[in-house]
Amino acid sequence: MKRILTITILALMLASCVDGYDKSVMPMAAAGLQLETVVCKARWTAKEFKTYSEWQACQLAAESGFARTINLKKMDAFEVYAADMQALAVERDAKRITDSQVRSRSQEILWKFLAECDCRPGWKPNPNYSHWLMTAFTTPQPPAMIPMTP
């Protein structure tokens, strides 16, 4: 339910992009994103991914498919967003940043992307009250990385 709400909120945020994407395919694109996100989460749970970077690559592939499906006109902004998110995942894997820092920085990366693609949602969540709205999209909180034992 939380994932569906988050995807819906993202779709509504993109709806503020007047001419930035194809609105007619939004329901299909959102459903595809939701399905792919569930697949990534299931693969994480099944321990198919050994690192956060692998999980992030899966999630970004799903988000990229969403952006292509809606024909996002400013794909260059999405590519910067994806590169920044992947770099953040690499830093997390290297233990150079904490999970809290990942959540904070991923939210900053998302808002930067929304501004650069001219998809300004018209509001910015108050971290004290609505941080969870975007955290679920940008960092779906996979289980903590526990060393894999044979």
Tens digit of each residue's pLDDT (9 = 90 or more) over 65-98: 999 998 888 899 999 999 999 999 999 999 999 9
Alpha helix stretches (DSSP H) within the chain: 2-14, 26-45, 52-69, 75-93, 99-116, 131-138
Flag whether the pTM goes above 0.75: no
CA 105 to chain centre: 12
pLDDT at 123 over 60: no
Q: What is the pLDDT of residue 137?
A: 45
pLDDT at 14 over 60: no
> What Rg, from alpha-carbon coordinates, does the chain have?
15
Q: What is the pLDDT of residue 59?
A: 93
Q: What is the pLDDT of residue 19?
A: 66
